[in-house]
Chain A
């Protein structure tokens, strides 16, 4: 890679050829505001928020897509840049429902963030507003395209990460919107409900159904952990409030999955709070279960195992460890079998 040297806000920056201005700035800790750009996805240069001044260029350039060059001089924070950004936000707000008080994204919404930072209370532009029906026939997420800022992230993710092509732009001009193929419900598209589009939507247009109206972003405790479904081992983030897992999100900085998941990991967590969970030990008498205390249940198991061992020997007892439990638990259980009981009759149910 050839090295190029440029100046950003008066600082000398060493970058690699092929990098964008945005990336070079980030390298030295200069954060350029942005809505549509997301690391790891091809830039769509749609939001105009990341514009910067480049000496020798008459117009402002979108830093997310503009490559660096040797001796380039870039300014990210001039009056002109700030005005342009403010205008871009103002314009987006002119067709945005002021719904922050009940919007699930409030607190993590990037449009809200910039409206706040630029101090824009109400848009200067009054004009036609969209009035799309909210779509949410699928069990996992809701689509409210009135809030869509047409950043294109969901389309890029669906096409270039998920390779699914379930959503795309439709129509043009003011009528442009993101839509499922032929504007159908997601079930009628090739959508596999990975929810990766939801995870990148910078505003409240795409949002999880789980946890709705149960907790605000800033009240949620975020606990990174590993998915309990398949052997890929994706990192998930549990969003917890008052002892309840309200929803599962992902984080592009965490895990080998870099923020991508499948439907099970992101939307299949609610078994945790299923009413069918076992909450008390059970002992069967005459064919029916009755609730027991832990003392009683553990004694019954220990006595039973001891009796069988003394009557028939340790090898009359078998243990099945679990592909769903932790390493530590499986280690302990085979240790119980081998050390406490004295048998190597240990196996599990899943051969692959």
Chain B
């Protein structure tokens, strides 16, 4: 939004060469383990300085030069504080700001009040650490930011991301090798799903559906009139169902019952549909509610491409025939489309990619024969283009980078007498919030169920046994039973839960207050009460 693109600006291989790596809202070792190896190599082999901002003592803290243990949900205040320090100490990259950005004066004005002493009060991070982090980030030759769901899954997620962009632009730590803003995307092909137009307002390659010229091009390519009206987001669709406007939902390989906040509500809403179709490889909680279930195949049973978090388009290859009577998902979709009166006749995923390339400028040069080896990083506009390791070299996608004002607002729900703990959610190394990891025997054995992590002092006070004591976690919206894991990685007053398991769906607890801009629900913090059960 600030520079016009929502992907990693740099390559995974560049992390190793950064001088300063600022990790915020990413438990990299657990969620992007092989990227964490790059961070560790940067520290141990090249002496890079890592700043970790996280309320939990995550693994990378052991490699960090500086650990900013801010209170959950106060990221914007922390980042505004860093901007304040950078501006007041004269660490602004003035030529970058002049030549490539707009709106700096207003930004400077807006962070005037975020002096370190005040930010310390909000975030709990000592003022001198805020100053040191700012200095390191601003003055290192190359600084790279890594962030993940810990930044986006907040009611203030969009502000968090924009504040990071402000930081990068004020210091000119973007648009060059080894330095930039790097969102680490969760699932294997979430980047690709977005690139392919899996969003209500854009076609492939983020071409807007409400742009007349774009739409005309797609109408020509697809041979049919298209709607100029942006569609509904998932959350709006759910609301539409509740209001009786949405009647049918087709879900490909996703399990919103488990991955959305307020699982029970989602379930109730899906049940109201006239037609729910789920295409998946397992009978997920969502598929159980469907009227029709279509068996697709795993990645081992089909050809295709995934696009990773650094925009690299890579080939997956069919290794075995589909299991049972299941069919490759692309074939199912073609058959369905033909039945809907819009015939699709493709021989192979390769042929589909040729069509994608023909309608998507950033994928214009992607061809299967070019993807052997390391694949290609978009933008790759033409057949002889080598791909793009880092973005925004001479200009931003949107032209000048725009500073956005990002005022801090306290999280929507804070602990009180009745619900004295702050709950934060996330993933662990061994699982993803999809079924596949739980259907893997070894992964299920090594991390069998959703655990509630709690600080030792809190556990002692509540009489919770150190190993696997059973507890009940309750919020204003619901409660779950889970086993406790006592861990001094957490500060007192904070509990952590995974959101992978239906038996302990932490999402029962989360608030569905939406970020007003990105429409991402608040997954990360809410107030809970913890009670010992056994």
Contacts and interface: CB of A to CB of B under 8 A. Distances in A.
B352 A351 contact: no
B226 A332 contact: no
Given A233-B306, A233-B312, A346 B440 contact: no
B96 interface: no
A320 B234 contact: yes
B184 interface: yes
B44 A326 contact: no
Given A283-B291, A333-B333, A343-B231, A270 B442 contact: yes
Given A229-B437, A284-B291, A316-B245, A336 B333 contact: yes
Given A320-B250, A350-B186, A329 B330 contact: yes
Interface string A246-280: 00000000011100111110011111111011111
A267 B437 CA distance: 10
A170 interface: no
B528 interface: no
Contacts of B429: 192, 262-264
B221 to A, nearest CB: 10
Contact of A348 (B198, B240, B291): B198
A66 interface: no
Interface string B249-273: 1111111100110000000000000
Interface string A169-202: 0000000000000000001000011100000000
Contact of B237 (A280, A312, A318, A326): A318
Contact of A230 (B186, B227, B231, B315): B186
A221 B200 CA distance: 41
**Best-surrounded residue of A187, A225, A308, A347 (most CB of chain B within 10 A):** A347
A289 interface: yes
A284 B443 CA distance: 32
Contact of A321 (B252, B306, B356, B440): B252
Interface in B237-251: 237, 240, 245-251
Contacts of B280: 278
Interface string A53-87: 00000000000000000000000000000000000
Nearest to A279: B324
Contacts of A333: 198, 250, 252, 333
| Interface size classification for chain B | 35 or more
Contact of B149 (A270, A308, A330, A352): A352
B441 A270 contact: yes
Given A281-B293, A301-B292, A345 B200 contact: yes
Interface stretch (B34-42, B64-72, B122-130, B410-418): B34-42
B451 interface: no
A277 B275 CA distance: 23
A338 B226 contact: yes
Contacts of A283: 291-293
Interface in A296-352: 297-302, 304-306, 308, 311-312, 314-352
A240 interface: yes
Nearest to A293: B325
B443 A264 contact: yes
Given A267-B443, A271-B436, A298-B336, A350 B232 contact: no
Contacts of B442: 139-140, 209, 267-268, 270
B201 interface: yes
A124 interface: no
B58 interface: no
Contacts of B233: 347
Interface stretch (B103-111, B341-349, B401-409, B489-497): B341-349
A276 B435 CA distance: 11
Nearest to A289: B293
B292 A297 contact: yes
A234 interface: yes
A274 B237 contact: no
Contact of B299 (A194, A228, A280, A289): A228
Contacts of B390: none
A133 B427 CA distance: 35
B179 interface: no
B300 interface: yes
B470 interface: no
B291 to A, nearest CB: 5
A299 B291 CA distance: 13
A339 B222 contact: yes
Contacts of B436: 228-229, 268, 271, 324
B17 interface: no
**Best-surrounded residue of B193, B319, B439 (most CB of chain A within 10 A):** B193
A16 B184 CA distance: 37
A327 B313 contact: yes
B317 A225 contact: yes
Contact of B153 (A163, A345, A352): A352
Interface of B: 11-13, 29, 31-35, 37, 40-41, 44, 63, 148-149, 152-153, 157, 183-201, 203-204, 209, 218, 222-227, 229-234, 237, 240, 245-256, 259-260, 274-275, 277, 280-283, 287, 290-296, 298-302, 304-310, 312-321, 323-327, 329-330, 332-337, 339-342, 344, 346, 349, 352-353, 355-356, 374, 429-432, 434-437, 439-443, 445-446, 518, 520
Q: Closest 8 CB pairs between A and B?
A: A279-B324, A233-B308, A326-B304, A344-B231, A322-B253, A262-B33, A340-B342, A302-B339
Given A229-B437, A240-B320, A271-B440, 19 more contacts: A139-B442, A225-B299, A257-B34, A262-B34, A264-B431, A268-B437, A298-B336, A308-B275, A311-B247, A314-B227, A319-B250, A324-B436, A326-B192, A331-B355, A337-B250, A340-B342, A345-B237, A346-B199, A348-B198
21 contacts: A187-B446, A223-B319, A231-B308, A264-B443, A270-B442, A271-B439, A308-B275, A316-B245, A317-B248, A318-B237, A325-B193, A327-B304, A327-B356, A328-B304, A333-B333, A336-B344, A339-B342, A344-B230, A346-B231, A348-B254, A352-B183
